[in-house]
Amino acid sequence: MNEPFDDLRRYADDLASEVSPSTAQRAVRAGMSSPTRRPRKALVALLATGLLGVSNVALAATADSSAPGDALYGVDRAYEQVVDLTGLGGPRVSERLQETGVLVERGDLGAALELVQETLGKVLESDDPDTELQTLVAELEGAPGAVSELVLNDLVTVAHSVGHTDATGQDVAELARRLGQRLSEERSNRPDDVGPDNDNPNTGPDNNSGNNEPGPPDESPSDGAPGPGNPNRGGNQP
């Protein structure tokens, strides 16, 4: 029975054909000229930030420590958007990783993975993705192992699917490889993971392959189910 799928394709075609060429033209023009429009947007945003800052410093400070699911998280992200318009924002790697850690602690792995994917997406779309990627990996030094695992999963996905042929594209794969290696070493060195005598680092419960290459991307993030690349697969629970 192909009827529903034919109908689905016709529906999609009709939705696409409803978009007027002038709307598409406007969107493309705006997208391609966005860097030059920044100064005016930045000025408006700076004024708005100033006003908001004066009147709502306490609220902003409280919201800043919130994580997805908290009542003030929307306020936190709204402030960030205003600051982003000034061009002073960026992917906020450190803050997102902290929030990911909170979500992992709460056991909401689906939301944690979504946040990691969003953050990495922003890193790769930022004006200086190479530096931002390096920052991301550096910030992971102090992050819980589970957060690093989530980032590694997404880095591997990105390295496999989106990149390019020059040195920067190879950097993603290289970062994923180095991060995988570091995580593997950290796991091996953790006394809890390797048993009481700590003689054989490859006998730990989480050292499932013994190789340092990052594994394949993990399965569905929405159900938070443990998988081979998921944070709760071994002794890495925060």
Partner 1 sequence: MTGESGSRTGASGWPPSRQHIESARIGDNDALGAILFKGFPRLVAFYRGMGLSAADSEELASEAIEGMVKSIRRLREPDAFEGWFWTIARNRLRSRIRRKGRVERELEYGPVDDPESIVLIREEHHTIRAALAHLSARDREILWLREVEQLTHEEVAARLTMRPGAVRVAALRARRRLEEFYAAETATEAVEP
Which H or E run includes 39? helix 34-64
Under DSSP, is residue 184 helix (H, G, I), strand (E, B) or coil? helix
Q: In this structure, are residues 159 and 176 in contact, taking their beta carbons and an 8 Å threshold?
A: yes
Q: In this structure, are residues 168 and 129 in contact, taking their beta carbons and an 8 Å threshold?
A: yes
What is the distance between the alpha carbons of residues 89 and 86, in angstroms, rounded to a whole number? 7
What the block records as the tokens of 149 is 């695992």
When binding is defined by CB under 8 A, the residue of 5, 58, 167, 199 that contacts partner 1 is 5
When binding is defined by CB under 8 A, the residue of 55, 209, 211, 222 that contacts partner 1 is 222
Q: Binders of partner 1: how many residues, by CB under 8 A?
A: 66
Residue 63 is classified by DSSP as: H
* Interaction pattern, residues 119-138, with partner 1; x per rule: CB under 8 A: --xx-xxxx-x---------
Q: Which residue has the tokens 């992050």?
A: 143
Query: Does 15 help bind partner 1 (rule: CB under 8 A)?
Result: yes
Q: Which of 141, 94, 149 is nearest to 122 (CA)?
A: 94
When binding is defined by CB under 8 A, the residue of 93, 109, 111, 194 that contacts partner 1 is 111
Q: Which of residues 54-73 bind partner 1 (CB under 8 A)?
A: 68, 73
Query: Does 167 help bind partner 1 (rule: CB under 8 A)?
Result: no
When binding is defined by CB under 8 A, the residue of 115, 151, 155, 179 that contacts partner 1 is 115
Identify the sign of the CA torsion 153, 129, 100, 108: negative
Cβ closest to partner 1, residue 161 vs residue 197: 161
What φ, ψ does residue 30 adopt, rounded to 5°? -65, -45
Residue 216 is classified by DSSP as: P
Query: Does 197 help bind partner 1 (rule: CB under 8 A)?
Result: no
Residue type present at position 30: A
Among the residue ranges 50-58, 157-165, 177-185, 194-202, the one whose residues contact partner 1 (CB under 8 A): 157-165
Among the residue ranges 22-30, 39-47, 52-60, 193-201, the one whose residues contact partner 1 (CB under 8 A): 22-30
Which residues bind to partner 1, rule: CB under 8 A? 1, 3-5, 7-19, 21, 23-25, 27-32, 34, 68, 73-74, 77-78, 81, 110-111, 113-115, 117-118, 121-122, 124-127, 129, 153-154, 157, 160-165, 168-169, 216-222
